[in-house]
Amino acid sequence: MAAGHELHPLILVPGLSGNQLEARLTEDYSPPLPAPQAQQAAGWFRIWMDRSLILNSAALRCFAHQLSLVYDPDADDFRNVPGVDTRVPFFGSTEGLRFLDPDHKDSSICMDTLVKSLEEIGYQDSLNLFGAPYDFRYSLAAEGHPSKVATQYLQDLRELVEQASQMNGDKPVIILTHSYGGLLTLHLLNRNPPWWRRKFIKHFVALSAPWGGVVMEMFTFTCGDTMGMSFVDPLIVREQFRRTESNLWLLPSPKAFGDRPLAITSDRNYSATDMAEFLQAIGFQEGVKPYVSRILPLLEEMAAPGVPMTCIVGVGVITPETYLYNGEGKFDEPPEVVYGDGDGLVNLASLLALESEWFDASEQELKVIKIPNATHAGILTQEFAVREIIREVLDVNSAPT
Cβ-Cβ contacts under 8 Å for 379 (sequence gap 6 or more): 178, 207, 208, 312, 313, 314, 343, 371, 385, 386, 389
Instruction: Give me the catalytic one of 17, 165, 179, 208.
Output: 179
Instruction: Give me the catalytic one of 50, 77, 274, 343.
Output: 343
Phi, psi values for residue 23, rounded to 5°: -140, 160
Strands 269-270 and 336-340: unpaired
User: Is 179 a known active-site residue?
Assistant: yes
3-class secondary-structure state, position 224: coil
Of the candidates 59, 53, 47, the residue with the CA atom closest to the CA atom of residue 19: 47
> d(Cα 270, Cα 160) in Å, to the nearest integer?
41
C-beta neighbour count of 205 within 10 angstroms: 24
Cβ-Cβ contacts under 8 Å for 235 (sequence gap 6 or more): 223, 224, 332
Type of residue numbered 300: E
> d(Cα 151, Cα 191) in Å, to the nearest integer?
10
User: Is 343 a known active-site residue?
Assistant: yes
The set of catalytic residues is: 179, 343, 376
